[in-house]
Amino acid sequence: MNHGKPNIPDVLDRFVDYYSKPENNVWGSLHIVLDDLNVGDDSVRWVIEHAREHGDEDGVRLGEILLTMSKTQRKRLPVVVEAELRRREIDGAAPSDANPAYSALTSR
């Protein structure tokens, strides 16, 4: 039982889509958490407010998801997103769980 913590595979597509937007170079509003790896709750709360102030509704929603994740998940998420983007470039639109390396990264 995960007590409300999302699993990375459950939210991966949302973070991949956000990261892939041209205006979100190096994670956009979520940069401090997902690029600089300041994964503490205070940093996540800060990026949520920053996103809100800049009208980044997706950043607000994803920040709220980050707040429910463990620090370990927050650290792992950008690595998994980048691996998923590489997988999509190589394999096309195959399901994420078809890649054993992806499954190993996200199963924890």
User: pLDDT per residue over 56-77, tens digit each?
Assistant: 999 999 999 999 999 999 999 9
For tokens 């889509």, the residue is 17
What one-character-per-residue DSSP string does 8-72 give? HHHHHHHHHHHHHSGGGGGGGGGHHHHTS---SHHHHHHHHHHHHHTT-HHHHHHHHHHHHS-HH
Domain residues of the chain, as ranges? 8-106
Global pTM value: 0.80
The number of C-alpha atoms within 13 Å of 90 and in the hemisphere containing its C-beta is 9
Q: List, for the chain, all residue ranges whose pLDDT scores fall below the cut of 50.
A: 1, 94-106, 108
pLDDT score of 2:
52
For tokens 């707040």, the residue is 67
The span from the CA of 108 to the CA of 14, in Å, is 19
